[in-house]
Amino acid sequence: MTAPVSVTVDENIAYVTIDNPPVNALSQAVRAGLSDAVRRLDADDAVQAVVLLCTGRTFVAGADIREFGKPPQPPHLPDVIAEIENAHVPWVAAIHGTALGGGLELALGCSARVVEAGAKLGLPEVSLGLIPGAGGTVRLPRLVPVEEAIAMITSGKPVDAAQAVSIGLADRIAKNDRVEEAAELARELAANGKPDTLSARPPVGNPDETFWAKQRASIKAKVRGQISPVAGLEAVRDAVTMPAAGAFTAERARFMALKDTEQSAALRYMFFAERNTGRPDAIKNEKPAEIRSVGVIGGGTMGAGIAASFLLAGLPITLIERDAEAVDQAIGRVKGILEQSRKRGVLTDETLAETLVRFSAETSYETLSDCDLVIEAVFEDMNVKHAVFADLDKVCRADAILATNTSYLDVSAIADATSDPSRVVGLHFFSPAHVMKLLEIVKTEAASPKTLETALSVAKMLHKIPVIAGVCDGFIGNRIFSAFRRECDFMLEEGALPEQIDAAMRGFGFAMGIYAVQDLAGLDIGWATRKRQAASRDPEARYSRIADRICELGRFGQKTGAGWYSYAEGSRTGDPDPLVERIVREESERLGIQRKDFSDEDIMNRIMAAMQTEARAVLDEGIALKPSDIDVTLVHGYGFPRHQGGPMFKAGQT
């Protein structure tokens, strides 16, 4: 077996190459190979400088995930990086692809860094509930301004090559061959004498205590209870206020302490769960259909978001609306989304223009006759959806995939409107569709393996996380959401108020509480669902009328200026409304319930129990393929805090 680290020497420049596909992870063998290379090259007087490079599509993209949860094996990464930093000759990192986590820490141990134009550099450890543990928090603020170091370490977001150079993280962007230009820089450093190591340099800035207090308050407000970003800030503060040796020791202690926390365990669990969502055995050897053009039926908020998602992925889109006025409105929504993408830097002026060329909006289904995939995103009404699919069945190619974006309705019943239900699948996007990462793929009994494999390929194309769900009312996510929403309504009857429940959920780590979320999404959809279910509802089952009474008043959330909360004109932040409290108290009185006080812990215990009970039923019925799929759905579709791992993780069932 070829060694993952090799050394060659050419004209007094040594080239240390890491070859550990697919992402050149820092396995024990790689670490050992690097350590051996340092000792070998330090003993060779002919070597004047070293270039560190990687084969394949990327520089070192981080630790070896196969070693997660296992005791670290020597040589340890901090020691290897210290060896490189203290080598007799300068080392220069030639970076392409991504240099993330331990990969960037490795590059920080070098005397200089040359990056390709498309490279990304970052320290994403906070996403695993950790901080950099191999000197990253100490060396980075000695190379870039303290504010930039804090931003990179506490957010985990990478910087691109241009930004890396502008803040001092990289020395230059390669104009041609990165390895040749790194060798050129290595010769310059060798000629001028090896520069001071980062460990020997002072920090780039020395802010006062007021600065640190403001940073701490700002980060705590953003992370909603996650502890690793705050620990990252404290590690940077140590790096600025302590000698490097002490800061290295403090960093490692923090890293090891965080590694043993439940939050880090939850985040590591989610890391694997997101990458290993379930796949039915029947489709494992199936090849997906090629998707080259897509049609979308309906240009409302969801349809426009779906269309924009495919446009941003580089596909041509044809959107269908009922009349010319609706077409114009849909075009405006899609253009608005793309313009926001331009403002965020996702698109340039040039690529925005190119993207719009691939977009058209029409009123005739005939224009969809050659599409490979058509997605329906119309109003949540079975009769309407039946009519849409009957029309699509007439005009679309026989091998085209037909998908519905329904949130609750029976996808099998929708498929029955076609002559070939095997090509029908649910593609449940989450709003805003161009932002939310989850795609719930709803498989019917009739759906063919090719249809399902194509749906999975669509998720990959859109950079979304796919979760396969069976057919039931609400599938995985909305079924569990409805169950815990009902439990929250029962707590209102028993003594809580909407703002109390929302505050408890925010304290747990949710970005928004259940009632604020309903106001944002619109209460009318849930109301329509409850009315549809009324005929089949068990008359003996407990049912809260509070939400229905609010809807009967025309209060459908933010879009009507009132729902569970009232909204001042133009405001997206609601205020508690005495009218809602009066309705809540009237329902308690009608039911003869003596109201009681609820603590935040009481509220979250009830919510968690409701989620877990329904989740177990979803799993037992085969609606979800495995417990972790449920957690992925709740985290990425419903705001369950990622650092809490999901309801199944909390229940110990993963």
Burial label for 437, CB within 10 Å (0-12, 13-18, 19+), is: middle
CATH topology of domain 281-474: Rossmann fold (3.40.50)
The rounded distance, in Å, linking the Cα atoms of 381 and 190 is 72
Contacts of 234 (CB under 8 A, 6+ apart): 254
Residue of 105, 148, 181, 493 marked active site? 105
Active site residue 350: no
User: Helix, strand, or coil here: 373?
Assistant: strand
Say how far apart CA 536 and CA 444 lie, in whole Å: 22
Q: What CATH code is assigned to 477-622?
A: 1.10.1040.50
- Taking a C-beta distance cutoff of 8 angstroms, is the pair 186, 50 a contact? yes
CA-to-CA separations, 515 to 492, 520, 557, 574, in angstroms, rounded: 11, 9, 9, 10
DSSP bridge pairs for 426: 404, 442
Cα 479 to Cα 314, 365, 612, distances in angstroms: 33, 32, 12
Whole-angstrom Cα distance, residue 278 to residue 265? 21
The residue ranges of every structural domain in the chain are 5-260, 281-474, 477-622
Residue 9 CA to residue 300 CA, distance in Å, equals: 62
Q: Smallest Cα–Cα separation from 623: which of 432, 463, 483? A: 483
Distance of alpha carbon 372 from alpha carbon 294, whole angstroms:
6
Place of tokens 């494992």: 284
Which runs of E-coded beta strand occur in 194-320?
A: 294-297, 317-320
pLDDT of residue 1: 62
> What whole-number distance in Å separates Cα of residue 427 and Cα of residue 416?
17
164 within 8 A of 120, measured Cβ to Cβ:
no
Helix (H) / strand (E) element for 98: namely strand 98-100
Amino acid identity of residue 495, one-letter, is G
Instruction: Give the C-alpha separation, 151 to 506, whole Å.
Output: 23
Q: Which two tokens stand for residue 240?
A: 């600025």
Q: What is the dihedral of CA 251, 257, 262, 267, to 10 degrees?
A: 30
DSSP-derived 3-state class of residue 268: helix
From the list 125, 274, 376, 440, the catalytic residue is 125
Q: Tell me how far apart the alpha carbons of residues 168 and 145 are, in angstroms, rounded to a whole number.
A: 8
Count CA atoms closer than 13 A to 625's CA, side-chain side: 18
User: For the stretch 119-142, what's the b/e string if a residue is b when 16 or more beta carbons lie within 10 angstroms of its beta carbon?
Assistant: bbbbbbbbbbbbbbbbbbbbbbbb
d(CA 494, CA 486): 12
Please give the pLDDT value at position 529.
83
Helix boundaries (H) for 462-577: 477-494, 498-508, 514-521, 523-533, 546-552
The candidate with the shortest Cα–Cα distance to 442, out of 314, 568, 623, 244, is 623
In the chain (654 residues long), the average pLDDT of successive 10-residue segments reads 91 97 96 98 97 98 81 93 98 98 98 97 97 97 98 97 98 96 97 94 95 97 95 98 97 96 96 92 90 97 97 97 96 96 92 95 96 96 95 96 95 97 97 95 97 97 97 94 95 98 97 95 87 88 96 96 95 95 98 97 98 97 97 96 97 88
* pLDDT score, position 285: 86
Q: Is 494 a catalytic residue?
A: no
For residues 504 and 589, give the distance between their C-alpha atoms in angstroms, rounded to a whole number: 24
**R_g over Cα of the chain:** 28
d(CA 296, CA 377): 7
Q: To 10 degrees, what angle do helices 498-508 and 600-620 make?
A: 80
Lookup result for tokens 């407990």: 542
Query: How many CB atoms sit inside 10 A of residue 507's CB?
Result: 15
Fold of 5-260: 2-enoyl-CoA Hydratase; Chain A, domain 1 (3.90.226)
User: Maximum distance among all alpha carbons in the chain?
Assistant: 91
Q: Is the peptide bond before 202 cis (omega within 30 degrees of 0)?
A: no
Q: Within 57-156, where are the H helices?
A: 77-85, 102-108, 136-139, 146-155
